[in-house]
Structure 1
Amino acid sequence: QQRSAAAAAAAAAAAAAAATAGAAPDAASKQDGTSSGQEQQGLDLPEAQAASNAATGAAVGAAAGKGGGSAALSTAAAADSAAAASLDEEQMDASDFVDENDGARVWTERLAAAGLVYDEEEEEWEENVDDDEDLDEDEDDISSLLTEVTPYGTWFSGDGSGTEGEDVAQETEEQMELSRWYTSQDGYLPPSTWGPVQIVSMKGKGRGLVVSRDVQQGQLLLVSQPLAMLEYVSEGQGKGEDDAPENEELADHMRAKVQLNPAQHLWLNELLWDGQGEKRLPTQEDISALHAAQGPQTPITMDLERLYRIVNLNCQGEEFKDISASTLRGEEAVGHLGLWPEAALINHSCTPNATSYVIGDRLIVRATEELAAGEEVTLSYLGRQLTMPLQMRQAELKEKFGFEAKCPRTRAELRSAGPGSKLGELLNETAAWCSELSEVLDTALEEEDMTEIAEIRGELEQRKEEVEAAMRTAKVTSKARRWLQASVYDLYDMISMCADEGESDKGKGSAAQQEPQVLDTEALAVCARILESVARGSDAQAYLAAEYMVRAGVRFGQHHEETHQARRMCKAAFTARYGPVSDALLDTLIATRLDD
């Protein structure tokens, strides 16, 4: 939640700037067309700088008050540019800022060129409208105002200069269908789909799914309709964790209210494992009958205890449906718990090569990396605990599902950080310590206690050095290092949040005390890369990759190598999650997720 608030203004500013990159007139047109900004404003250079400093301080206070570190940085940089953009071209050329890697000023010059003005009384950017024109109530924050002018960024569509990207007529049939999946507001749902996968018997695992041919990143593997699903409002949407239903509640709901057709009854009674006996392999006819959904619907009469076992072993849930798609479809991204029969055949890995999410009531599964024919498809059963140390993950899997993981990540961690090892003990201690410290940090961030935040960051950095030193001593490979970092992901995430808040504090106070502001990219990039190694295509990884791309563009400019790297990471993450969508829709999905 802290991150979501932090990125809103920076993302919106970069989106508008990217879309209007070609709008700022060049020096010749400025000199030929109008008098200089200095003459218009009646300011000399010192006065303009003083006005800039005052606006910077006001903007930092306003954005920080909304709980956003990067929002404060971006808004402050934008305010600082308000006066600078009006100076005479000979005194302050935009290329000077590019040379100084001060990309934020260049972006916000373009915001001004797009018709936005900084309202010092309201302490935010807004459209240049007449005083008697009122903005809608839902457009009173910076991101809404900016997206009203330029609804979506152009990071990938067009040439990044505000020109339109692909025409609708140029989209492939698949891209047009995907656009309908993610943006249709008429209730359209993706049809049940059985992609290039097949069910096989796997030694030591029972059943599993493998790809029947080579597939690319983002390939659709299946779309499953649930036998039953419950929805709820998650903690992040205003209610507590207790509002999430228990697995038994889903089973009770099925027994009391759900009716199934003959094929669905077959899957529930014979094909979904109840933890006892042999697992029968579903046939292609079983799958086709399930998708055909024919025959009369009748109540579930199964023994309740057996139904509890089936639901516990096969259900899936998450705190929200896909956020970008839900927003674009005009739906609420509510939490959900359901029983999707085909997806229940996919085995677990602590480094899954597929991702899943829900649109409406349909579970979408896509490959998050290239897979060779015959390679197993895997998902994570662990949710947030995927980023916990090995022993905690194994205990969770054993308790809930009756097995322990044997994936490559698990084997690598057993070699270097297994039970009894110094590194393993340090990781366990660090995870528990971070869990306790997170509440203290949340309070400090909420109260904007910069002294406390600085102290916490120092402790976190010290612990990080201990962890990194222990990994060097253990001589782990670069891949295993990322996996081990993922085992204490909260450590790196909390450092990133402290870095955001620390940077947002720069610029507060008098003009003499103000320091240049720099958007943090280093700590954020580490977090994005850690999640890329264990949860590629997840909502969290896609979100961090998008935020990293925006920050890199603001900090370094669009032609810097780090920005190019961030763009590649972002595109890969969103392609893995949403498939081969058009560049225009890709921009829309990114902007919508950042603006949420």
Structure 2
Amino acid sequence: MLHRGAAAGPRPFNSCLVEAHLQARNKHPAHLKRQRCRTIHRSACGAGDITTCGSNTVDALNAQLLYEEHPPRAPNFIGPIKVIEMPGKGRGIVASADLKPGTLLLAVPPVAYLCEVDAPRPSGETLVDEIIDKGLWKHSWMQSLYDGSYQGTSMPSLDMPSVASGSNASTREVLDEENSPSSQRAGTSSGATNSGGPSTTNPEAACMQSGFSPEDKTRIAKMTKFNCFGDNREDDALCAVSGRPSAGHIGIWGPFAMLNHSCAPNTMNYVVDTANQGIMVVRAAKAIAQGEEVTISYMGRPQLRPVGPRQVKLLSDYGFECDCQRCLQEQALEEKLGDLYEGLWDEVSERRRPEFDEACLTYAETGDEEDLQALHEHLQASMTQLLGKLQKARVAPNARLAILGSMFELFELKMDVELALDYTEEFVYTLGTATKAVQAVSPGSDLAVSLASVLIVTQARLHGAESPQVAQGKALSDEALLARYGPIKDDALKSQLRKANLTMYN
């Protein structure tokens, strides 16, 4: 997705337009066996079928999203949020009430959606073809999406219906109702084929039949590029708990597309593919004050880089420079930290990681730990130097954690070395600091939940299941679980989710 305040010049349509902007994980988990793959097109709830806030409703929906393999119908839930025009950003979403961590903000079906069970996500080009082939570009949400220009865009209402990709009766009924002037902005004509008529599997032929030009196809591709979300898997822990296979997925969710980026977002999101419905779930991962902007991260793993590499990534992929609080804090500290900060990140990612791989090979072949020990000493010295700089600069605790969150590759490599050397106590200290840092900048992420789960198990081995150290680990875990899954009243379920996150992501 593109930051709504950024402007992008026109460019010709090409097959890489969408692919380069997907929020997809880099690899498919090895534990998932590749079974028969199928692409699934489906529809969700119909027009006007919006559920709003209510404690009983939210409790039931939370349980449905956590427990049930086949819920009876797709939810279309909108929490206490609203779309507004934001100075310098265009449209965005703000909280319409004070929000606690774990509050459900969205549980909505997609406008367009494709998935493959037990396989990586379908391609972005395939989603563009599906949108054209099924006539989904006529949907009011599609017409309101940012396409690189604000010409013709409108201020959407979050209670507009969302409709998933598909060719069954419920999809056709909604699309047939939406023969509005806004639909004509996509280049349709009186002879355009709607999705209720015969469908063609050839997108180019669909373009010809519908009467719009290659420029219109480029616009649809741009809307998809700037607003789609894709991932190679769902939340594997939820899949394990509910007994469902994981699905690689890609789609567009109208209300979700209104959320702007922050490098330290106050929400988390993932797709729950229960009953093949592709529900986008968004929760408050931190306390959010009424009127405060509700944000997500567009980046995935690059979110854990220093500010310089993050800005390069965002400018390259999305066309804007981020001015979130985390970026401004880090930029203000650059002079105090000198070359140590980003220089250390470059060193770890470009030099020390290959050194670790070579040292592991040497250890496996000869049993010689000398190279691993030397690498650990270097990493420990670098960590000590960084922490000393932060203390000398009198960096506030929150900003300090944000800086450490930007150096996760250093923590990760140090933990890998400590595990290889069986330095358990050092590993636990590094892991505890890394868990707090990741939760600070990426609250409720699968990584934060996983790290906390590993911390509990390791502390229990060192100090016993009833030790204060395990209690501290559980407190970190509870914070991450609340942000990701909402309030969990069932202790057995909480234990299952911890165990599943430990198994799936460790």
Fold conserved (TM > 0.5)?
yes
Cα deviation, residue 465, structure 1: 2.7
Contact 2:336–2:393 (CA<8 Å) still a contact in 1? no
Structure 1: give runs of 5+ residues left out of the alignment.
1-137, 139-170, 238-242, 505-516
User: In the alignment, which residue of structure 1 is the partner of 2:76?
Assistant: 192
Confirm or deny that 1:538 pairs with 2:455.
no
Cα deviation, residue 408, structure 1: 1.0
Q: Which moved more, 1:527-536 or 1:444-453?
A: 444-453
User: In the alignment, which residue of structure 2 is the partner of 1:316?
Assistant: 229
User: In the alignment, which residue of structure 2 is the partner of 1:408?
Assistant: 325
Contact 1:184–1:328 (CA<8 Å) still a contact in 2? no
User: In the alignment, which residue of structure 2 is the partner of 1:151?
Assistant: none
Confirm or deny that 1:358 pairs with 2:266.
no
User: In the alignment, which residue of structure 1 is the partner of 2:140?
Assistant: 266
CA RMSD of aligned residues (A): 3.0
Cα deviation, residue 424, structure 1: 5.5
1:449-468 alignment, distance < 5 Å: 449=364, 450-468=369-387
Aligned to 1:521, what secondary structure does the other structure show?
Answer: helix
Confirm or deny that 1:434 pairs with 2:340.
no
Equivalent-residue separation in structure 1 for 2:333 and 2:487 (angstroms): 38
TM-score (norm 1): 0.61
User: In the alignment, which residue of structure 2 is the partner of 1:564?
Assistant: 471
User: In the alignment, which residue of structure 2 is the partner of 1:521?
Assistant: 428
Cα deviation, residue 524, structure 1: 0.7
Q: Deviations along 1:81-118, whole A, 9 cap, x unmatched?
A: xxxxxxxxxxxxxxxxxxxxxxxxxxxxxxxxxxxxxx
Q: 1:337 aligns with which of 250, 256, 276?
A: 250
What amino acid maps onto 1:341 in structure 2? G
399 and 465 in structure 1: CA distance in 2 versus 1, 3 angstrom threshold:
same
Q: Deviations along 1:491-510, whole A, 9 cap, x unmatched?
A: 01111122222227xxxxxx
Q: Deviations along 1:413-471, whole A, 9 cap, x unmatched?
A: 11111xxx473533222222222232443464577544433232222222223323333
Contact 1:248–1:311 (CA<8 Å) still a contact in 2? no
Aligned to 2:106, what secondary structure does the other structure show?
Answer: strand
Q: 2:459 aligns with which of 548, 552, 573?
A: 552
Q: Deviations along 1:116-136, whole A, 9 cap, x unmatched?
A: xxxxxxxxxxxxxxxxxxxxx
Equivalent-residue separation in structure 2 for 1:173 and 1:223 (angstroms): 12
What amino acid maps onto 1:592 in structure 2? A
580 and 346 in structure 1: CA distance in 2 versus 1, 3 angstrom threshold:
same
What amino acid maps onto 1:280 in structure 2? S
Equivalent-residue separation in structure 2 for 1:173 and 1:343 (angstroms): 20
488 and 261 in structure 1: CA distance in 2 versus 1, 3 angstrom threshold:
closer
Cα deviation, residue 357, structure 1: 0.6
1:132-171 alignment, distance < 5 Å: none
Equivalent-residue separation in structure 1 for 2:498 and 2:80 (angstroms): 27
Cα deviation, residue 547, structure 1: 1.4
Equivalent-residue separation in structure 2 for 1:384 and 1:296 (angstroms): 37
Q: 2:109 aligns with which of 225, 237, 245?
A: 225
1:179-258 alignment, distance < 5 Å: 179-186=63-70, 190-231=74-115, 247-256=124-133, 258=134
Equivalent-residue separation in structure 2 for 1:444 and 1:233 (angstroms): 38
Aligned to 1:498, what secondary structure does the other structure show?
Answer: helix
Equivalent-residue separation in structure 1 for 2:254 and 2:99 (angstroms): 23
205 and 321 in structure 1: CA distance in 2 versus 1, 3 angstrom threshold:
same
What amino acid maps onto 1:282 in structure 2? P
590 and 176 in structure 1: CA distance in 2 versus 1, 3 angstrom threshold:
farther
Contact 1:197–1:221 (CA<8 Å) still a contact in 2? yes
User: In the alignment, which residue of structure 1 is the partner of 2:494?
Assistant: 586
What amino acid maps onto 1:337 in structure 2? I
Confirm or deny that 1:295 pairs with 2:295.
no
Q: Deviations along 1:117-174, whole A, 9 cap, x unmatched?
A: xxxxxxxxxxxxxxxxxxxxx9xxxxxxxxxxxxxxxxxxxxxxxxxxxxxxxx9775
Contact 1:519–1:551 (CA<8 Å) still a contact in 2? no
Cα deviation, residue 367, structure 1: 0.3
User: In the alignment, which residue of structure 1 is the partner of 2:186?
Assistant: none
User: In the alignment, which residue of structure 2 is the partner of 1:280?
Assistant: 154
Q: 2:389 aligns with which of 470, 487, 490?
A: 470
What amino acid maps onto 1:549 in structure 2? I
Q: Deviations along 1:275-326, whole A, 9 cap, x unmatched?
A: 11254211255x2476996425645856221112111211122332111112
Cα deviation, residue 562, structure 1: 2.3
350 and 461 in structure 1: CA distance in 2 versus 1, 3 angstrom threshold:
same
Aligned to 1:364, what secondary structure does the other structure show?
Answer: strand
Confirm or deny that 1:382 pairs with 2:382.
no
289 and 357 in structure 1: CA distance in 2 versus 1, 3 angstrom threshold:
closer
Contact 1:356–1:363 (CA<8 Å) still a contact in 2? yes
Count residues with an aligned counterpart: 400
Equivalent-residue separation in structure 1 for 2:73 and 2:417 (angstroms): 41
1:3-22 alignment, distance < 5 Å: none
Cα deviation, residue 339, structure 1: 1.5
Contact 1:261–1:296 (CA<8 Å) still a contact in 2? no
Q: Deviations along 1:342-389, whole A, 9 cap, x unmatched?
A: 111011111100000111011100001122221211100111110111
Equivalent-residue separation in structure 2 for 1:392 and 1:247 (angstroms): 25
TM-score (norm 2): 0.72
Equivalent-residue separation in structure 1 for 2:131 and 2:357 (angstroms): 39
What amino acid maps onto 2:488 in structure 1? V
Cα deviation, residue 205, structure 1: 0.9
Q: Deviations along 1:473-501, whole A, 9 cap, x unmatched?
A: 44322221211112221001111122222
Equivalent-residue separation in structure 2 for 1:201 and 1:559 (angstroms): 51
Aligned to 1:185, what secondary structure does the other structure show?
Answer: coil
Contact 2:341–2:386 (CA<8 Å) still a contact in 1? yes
Contact 1:324–1:589 (CA<8 Å) still a contact in 2? yes
Higher helix share: 1
Q: Deviations along 1:226-262, whole A, 9 cap, x unmatched?
A: 223344699xx8xxxxx76654443234334x44396
Q: Deviations along 1:543-579, whole A, 9 cap, x unmatched?
A: 1111112222332224433222211110111011011
What amino acid maps onto 1:214 in structure 2? D
User: In the alignment, which residue of structure 2 is the partner of 1:497?
Assistant: 416
Aligned to 1:454, what secondary structure does the other structure show?
Answer: helix
Q: 2:315 aligns with which of 390, 398, 402?
A: 398
Q: Which moved more, 1:325-334 or 1:438-447?
A: 438-447
Aligned to 2:269, what secondary structure does the other structure show?
Answer: strand
Contact 2:305–2:406 (CA<8 Å) still a contact in 1? yes
Cα deviation, residue 187, structure 1: 6.0
User: In the alignment, which residue of structure 2 is the partner of 1:348?
Assistant: 261
What amino acid maps onto 1:404 in structure 2? E
Which protein is bigger by CA-based radius of gyration?
Answer: 1
Aligned to 1:295, what secondary structure does the other structure show?
Answer: helix
Equivalent-residue separation in structure 1 for 2:308 and 2:136 (angstroms): 40
Equivalent-residue separation in structure 1 for 2:394 and 2:117 (angstroms): 45
What amino acid maps onto 1:524 in structure 2? L
Equivalent-residue separation in structure 1 for 2:483 and 2:105 (angstroms): 12
Aligned to 1:208, what secondary structure does the other structure show?
Answer: strand
Equivalent-residue separation in structure 2 for 1:463 and 1:333 (angstroms): 39
Equivalent-residue separation in structure 2 for 1:179 and 1:288 (angstroms): 23
